[in-house]
Amino acid sequence: MPTLGALEKAGWHGLQSYCRACRIGAILIWAYLKLAPALDFDTVAARLRCSRCGRRPEPGDVRPYYHDTGHAQGRGVPPGAQDVPPAKPPHGQAG
Ligand SMILES: [Zn+2]
């Protein structure tokens, strides 16, 4: 998985997470996160918690965020990025 620095370089504006329990999403831009660019996306995604209920988001519910200004044909993907990094399937037993 890419590092935060690599994602930012590719044009992503931050991370977005979604809580299935609260059914709310949160957008966390880099300036707000204030994390080291060397950190791995997976590492950061695993640390995120819902600000309302405190649950951790499911794997795949944390994704890079791109503020689509209309120039990227509405894909929500920055021009410098090839694809959204694939969500890592959960390992081991569920629950
Ligand atoms: Zn929640």
Residue 47 to residue 44: CA distance in whole angstroms: 5
pLDDT, position 73: 52
What spacing in Å lies between the alpha carbon of 95 and ligand 1's midpoint? 17
Residue 18 pairs in a beta bridge with: 25
Cβ atoms of 81 and 11 within 8 Å: the answer is yes
pLDDT, position 93: 44
In whole angstroms, how far apart are CA 17 and each of 7, 9, 43, 89, 92? 15, 20, 14, 16, 22
Q: Which residues place a Cβ less than 5 A from the ion ligand 1?
A: 19, 21-22, 50, 52-53
What spacing in Å lies between the alpha carbon of 64 and ligand 1's midpoint? 19
What spacing in Å lies between the alpha carbon of 73 and ligand 1's midpoint? 31
Mean pLDDT by 10 residues, the chain (95 residues): 93 94 94 94 92 90 86 64 57 47
**Whether the model pTM is above 0.85:** no
Domain boundaries, the chain: 4-65
